[in-house]
Structure 1
Amino acid sequence: MVQFVDWDLAASTAGALGKSGPKVSLEEAAEAVADLRRLADEASVHVAEYTQLKGPESPVRVVDRKDWAAANIAGLREVINPLAERLTGGKNPGAIGTAVGSRLTGVQAGTVLAYLSGRVLGQYEVFSSDPGQLLLIAPNIVEAERRLGADPHDFRLWVCLHEVTHRTQFTAVPWLRAHFLGEVQAFVDASQLEKDEMLLRLRRGISTLADAARNPDSRASVLDIVQSSAQRAVLDRLTALMTLLEGHAEFVMDGVGPEVVPTVADIRQKFNLRREEANPVEKVIRRLIGIEVKMRQYAEGRKFVHGVVERVGMAGFNKIWQSPLTLPRLNELGDPGGWVARVVPSLAA
């Protein structure tokens, strides 16, 4: 198999460059871990009642930053290795290997994961296992609640509501994980490029990244660099799906919140400010690796879900999980009424 990325080097790079955790005693750390496990179980009950969705529960893993990076590296192997096989036809990488050696890409992957490992609060990781695994990053949650001055119990439950909603999406909707992985595979299949074209795109990518670093107003993104025309169509479908999933989780965490998280309004206000605040260099990094896109997905997706539920209720909204054909199209995210008219016209009437 072509070794396109040195995954061991990626893991060691992520561990070496990752932020150190907040200062906590051994007792405080143990208490936070136990609290997050308990609150994840509590959140499962609230999410099931609110969403009217119930699926088998996969395990909850409370991890540190290094373990989070390792879990994502295991998942990335499942995506990147098939891509490398297609790019090279299973043969020695030759010119591609010279331009982008496995050690270089390993360092790059590790650097990105190191950056993210200090900022992600939780994740439902679907690549490395079936049906997936719920990850809660304890040091990041503790650090965030301290920085916000939030009540620890309320903030931890609020975060758990969001992440447990993602777990519910993938476990209560039997076809969703396979569909998502199929779309990722379609993205990989659409990336069959000639070596010269790949090298040209890589050179263009380096130039674009350098320009973005010099010019904070640049709108460049890694996603723009790697896309082929065929991949854009797949990416539109993936963008619509991810916006739905993120927006649904945001809608649920705020919908359940007032009943079980007394300080939810204060937490949401402070958390939104935290998302927006970043120095110019960090803003460039966020844009390059797609974090700004994800932040927009939170807001746009939540607005879409709210618009649908407002029109047809939660039971009507849940028609969205019937099949891939009932998922919103990209242009419907700004038009919840259009989705209702297409999928549940009887309820709209």
Structure 2
Amino acid sequence: MTSTPRGAVDWDDAAALAGRLAPPGPVLGRAEMADLVGSLRAAAHRAVEPVADITGLRPPDDAPPGGTATVLVVDRPGWARSMAGLTEDALALPDGRSVPLAAELVGSAEVGGALAALATKVLGQLDPYAPEAGRGSPGRLLLVAPNVLRTERDLRVRPADFRLWVCLHEQTHALQLTAAPWLSGHLRDRTRGVLADLSGAPGGVRALAGRVRAAATGTWGAVRGRDGASVLDGMLDGDQRSRLDEVTAVMALLEGHADVAMDAVGPAVVPTVRTIRRRFEQRRAEPGTRDGLVRRLLGMDAKLAQYRDGARFVRAVTRQVGTDGFNAVWTGPGALPSAREIADPDAWVRRVHG
């Protein structure tokens, strides 16, 4: 009888811990909760057509009116559980090797703590690795109800407008993956490649356990507010960071494109869109807010700048070659922008369009 090899993280344990650690969020009565859930579902369905008009990406002709993604409205523990399915084999070791039990426990605890922090922040997420993915579906669209409610209250914005605005962003991701069904596998392979380097580096399993402990140091440094600290501190060398930069370039493209789409619909679709964007950006920029911890935990100050670079890339390319010309990015991995091209849209246009 053989036992299942232990990875650096037990994702089920990490998700369960995150669900216990994350506060539940605003307390609502049954009728109020039903109204919130129904409003989010309706917003997700309504968002498909405006996004399709803006991006030029359309769902298949036989897609249901609400788009091809399955819409789930979840609480914070529900989102954390979805992350286990999204990343359950991300840190599996090659050749059936295992980390020591103590290392797995440390890794699971640290990832669970980070997921608990994120579970209070994520408004929506497309899970392209859900069972529904494939067969014409880009996966599940998760909307985290308590986070949407808390954020719209914090920003003092019109709830119907904010919920639609969030769904415009997520439905853009759904249409991206509908147009490029190869993309989720491409990203997963590239990310796994970086993580496999961790387990295959000199020192093997012991080195990986040390890197997980280094991630713990980065996490607590971020909690204490140490500048530049992130969960990845101590885990990646220079070459690995370069490969991660290429993955981040694709994420910048996806997020920047979704940001452009959610704002480009204009007041005809979201009457208070400019107010929402202004207040949302102000909240992100304020030091000492609850956003600050999560940005430090995951090194997201730099990533937010890259997402803004992604939006600039999308706008610059669209000005030069139009929406159809920009949409060449979805034709295959070779058409994706590199990290250098995200910062230099002209270089991408020259390479792809000649």
> What TM-score do you get using the length of structure 2 for normalisation?
0.87
- The structural deviation recorded for 1:69 is 0.7
1:127 aligns with 2:129: yes
Letter in 2 for 1:2: P
Matches within 5 A, 1:218-233: 218-233=227-242
Q: Which of 59, 63, 72 matches 2:70?
A: 59
1:76 aligns with 2:83: no
- Corresponding residue number in structure 1 for 2:5: 2
- The structural deviation recorded for 1:208 is 5.3
- The structural deviation recorded for 1:323 is 1.2
Letter in 1 for 2:6: Q
Range moving further from structure 2, 331-340 or 60-69: 331-340
Letter in 1 for 2:176: Q
Give the gaps of 5 or more residues in structure 1: none
SS at match of 2:126: strand
Letter in 2 for 1:165: T
1:44 aligns with 2:54: no
The 1:120–1:126 alpha-carbon spacing in structure 2 relative to 1, beyond 3 Å, is same
* Cα distance in 1, alignment partners of residues 260 and 208 from structure 2: 40
Q: Which stretches of structure 1, 4 residues or more, deviate above 6 A after TM superposition?
A: none
Deviations 1:191-230 (A, max 9, x none): 31223543554565555556656663x3233334211344
Asked whether the equivalents of residues 216 and 231 of structure 2 are also in contact (C-alpha less than 8 Å), the reply is: no
Matches within 5 A, 1:240-279: 240-279=249-288
1:150 aligns with 2:157: yes
The 1:39–1:301 alpha-carbon spacing in structure 2 relative to 1, beyond 3 Å, is same
* Cα distance in 2, alignment partners of residues 210 and 7 from structure 1: 20
Asked whether the equivalents of residues 190 and 230 of structure 1 are also in contact (C-alpha less than 8 Å), the reply is: no
Asked whether the equivalents of residues 225 and 296 of structure 2 are also in contact (C-alpha less than 8 Å), the reply is: no
Give the gaps of 5 or more residues in structure 2: 61-67
Asked whether the equivalents of residues 287 and 293 of structure 1 are also in contact (C-alpha less than 8 Å), the reply is: no
* Cα distance in 2, alignment partners of residues 104 and 245 from structure 1: 32
* Cα distance in 1, alignment partners of residues 225 and 118 from structure 2: 22
- The structural deviation recorded for 1:181 is 1.7
* Cα distance in 2, alignment partners of residues 210 and 41 from structure 1: 40
- The structural deviation recorded for 1:132 is 2.3
1:108 aligns with 2:110: yes
Would you say how many aligned residue pairs link Structure 1 and Structure 2?
A: 335
Letter in 2 for 1:144: T
Asked whether the equivalents of residues 214 and 235 of structure 2 are also in contact (C-alpha less than 8 Å), the reply is: no
1:315 aligns with 2:315: no
SS at match of 2:260: helix
Deviations 1:249-301 (A, max 9, x none): 00000111333011111111101111122428963552232332332233111
- The structural deviation recorded for 1:127 is 3.4
SS at match of 1:79: coil
- Corresponding residue number in structure 2 for 1:185: 192
Asked whether the equivalents of residues 252 and 309 of structure 2 are also in contact (C-alpha less than 8 Å), the reply is: yes
The 1:30–1:93 alpha-carbon spacing in structure 2 relative to 1, beyond 3 Å, is same
* Cα distance in 1, alignment partners of residues 150 and 45 from structure 2: 22
> What TM-score do you get using the length of structure 1 for normalisation?
0.88
**Residue identity (%):** 40
* Cα distance in 2, alignment partners of residues 78 and 92 from structure 1: 13
Letter in 1 for 2:27: K
Q: Greater share of helix residues, 1 or 2?
A: 1
SS at match of 1:222: coil
- The structural deviation recorded for 1:39 is 1.1
Letter in 2 for 1:121: L
The 1:273–1:343 alpha-carbon spacing in structure 2 relative to 1, beyond 3 Å, is same
- The structural deviation recorded for 1:187 is 1.8
- Corresponding residue number in structure 1 for 2:183: 176
Letter in 2 for 1:106: S
The 1:261–1:311 alpha-carbon spacing in structure 2 relative to 1, beyond 3 Å, is same
SS at match of 1:120: coil
SS at match of 2:266: helix
